[in-house]
Amino acid sequence: MTDDILLAAHHVDVVYDTGEGTPTHAVRDVAVELRRGELLGIAGESGCGKSTLAYALTRLLQPPARLAAGTVTLDGQDLYALDREALRAVRWTRLSMVFQSAMNALNPVTTVGRQFDDIFRAHRPAMTATERRAKAGELLDMVGIDPSRLRSHPHELSGGMRQRVVIAMALALDPDVVVMDEPTTALDVVVQREILDEIEELRERLGFAVIFITHDLNLLLEISDRLAVMYAGRIVEYADTARIAEGGALHPYTRGLLRSFPALTGDRRDLRGIPGQPPDLRLATPGCAFADRCEAVVERCRAQRPELERVGEGLSWAACHVARHHPSDRQAVPTESAGQTRGGPA
């Protein structure tokens, strides 16, 4: 592990034990690494395991979900080895999260100011009431909200304002890592752009790293440094964003996602969706989970599951038997003993 790796997940498996027969394997053998100050994007369609992975990375999984295998480390410290008090010391001070639904993340019967106050009472007990209120006002001002809104209840705020409040709360204790689970979902495009600009400005100013989860791959092409594309609980492509943006996507699923969005510049083109449906995550798939929907499928795809492997000399990985590169350029990902993980980047 190199010195600039801040958050790392190795071989993470998450299972939902429903009590109704076969458990659901929502995340399967996932490995990701987040560098200091980096914005890592995780993309994929609904149900692919993105949000479950976010909860696993922050140790917020609740029954019936459980971590069945793997490790998650923050600065080399295993999050799942921490006791309750040690974990409490890490949450929000070093690792925080922006949840998908801002209205559900905020207490509807308590003012915004009181919710900030609860954060500081729990994690900064030495702060006085005056200091807590002043800090809360500074945080609201930082995300473009008038500090007078501390007296407001969540239902008195617009959707964009509620999302900004949640972001301000996630940054309240100056964390090193912020996991954002679809932070612009259900907002109009103008408000989305404003919030994205604020996230970028705050990241540059405060220096925290971000894991940004969304189904919108085009959005991640604009804001992320690296991209992980998920399908059926696995990461199928991991690459520098610039490479994918320049037409270097290796996995047929990634290329299918790119064709599903209109281009903002250049010639008009026909949009093409990805036919078929994702597989049932309760069932074991002998080969590639994307085989039934893939335009480039070959016999090997149905018989042997492709591993996530590094491509050539670059920082790109793909889990595909027929990815668009010469077979001689394909290399297995080095083992952890060499400072990198199988099934994921380093």
Count of Cβ atoms closer than 10 Å to residue 99 Cβ: 22
pLDDT of residue 311: 74
* pLDDT range class, residue 247, cuts 50, 70, 90: confident
User: Average pLDDT of 189-199?
Assistant: 90
200 within a domain of the structure (yes/no) = yes
152 within a domain of the structure (yes/no) = no
Best-predicted range by mean pLDDT among 170-179, 313-322, 329-338? 170-179
**What is the DSSP-derived secondary structure letter of residue 253?**
H
pLDDT of residue 283: 85
19 within a domain of the structure (yes/no) = yes
| Angle between helical axes of 159-170 and 112-123 (0-180°, round to 10) | 10
What is the chain's mean pLDDT, rounded? Answer: 88
pLDDT of residue 40: 98
pLDDT of residue 316: 86
Percent of the chain with pLDDT over 70: 89
Phi/psi-derived region of residue 74, left when phi > 0, alpha when psi is between -120 and 50, beta in every other case: beta
Does position 337 have pLDDT exceeding 70, yes or no? no
CB 163 within 8 A of CB 196: no
User: Average pLDDT of 69-80?
Assistant: 96
Q: What is the pLDDT of residues 201-212, one digit of tens each?
A: 999 999 999 999
Of 96-110, 157-171, 238-252, 312-326, the range with the lowest mean pLDDT is: 312-326
Please tell me the total count of domains within the chain. Answer: 1
Give the pair of three-digit tokens for residue 112. Answer: 């915004």
Measured between alpha carbons, how far is residue 217 from residues 26, 238, 294 in Å? 20, 13, 18
* pLDDT range class, residue 58, cuts 50, 70, 90: very high
Does position 22 have pLDDT exceeding 60, yes or no? yes
User: Average pLDDT of 101-110?
Assistant: 85
228 within a domain of the structure (yes/no) = yes
Does position 102 have pLDDT exceeding 90, yes or no? no
pLDDT of residue 259: 86
pLDDT of residue 191: 87
pLDDT of residue 332: 38
Identify the residue whose tokens are 């996991």. Answer: 179
CB 5 within 8 A of CB 175: no
pLDDT of residue 214: 93
159 within a domain of the structure (yes/no) = no
User: Average pLDDT of 153-172?
Assistant: 94
243 within a domain of the structure (yes/no) = yes
Does position 314 have pLDDT exceeding 70, yes or no? no
| CATH number of the structural domain spanning residue 18 | 3.40.50.300
Measured between alpha carbons, how far is residue 325 from residues 39, 83, 147, 308, 329 in Å? 27, 46, 54, 14, 7
Count of Cβ atoms closer than 10 Å to residue 241 Cβ: 18
Distance CA 224, CA 248 (A): 16
Backbone angles phi, psi at 17, to 5 degrees: -90, 95
Q: Which of 271, 278, 235, 281 is nearest to 254 (CA)?
A: 235
**Domain coverage including residue 241:** 5-94+175-249
pLDDT of residue 336: 36
114 within a domain of the structure (yes/no) = no
327 within a domain of the structure (yes/no) = no
pTM attached to this predicted model: 0.89
In sequence order, the β-bridge partners of residue 33 are: 8
* pLDDT range class, residue 273, cuts 50, 70, 90: confident
Count of Cβ atoms closer than 10 Å to residue 234 Cβ: 25
Backbone angles phi, psi at 320, to 5 degrees: -155, 130
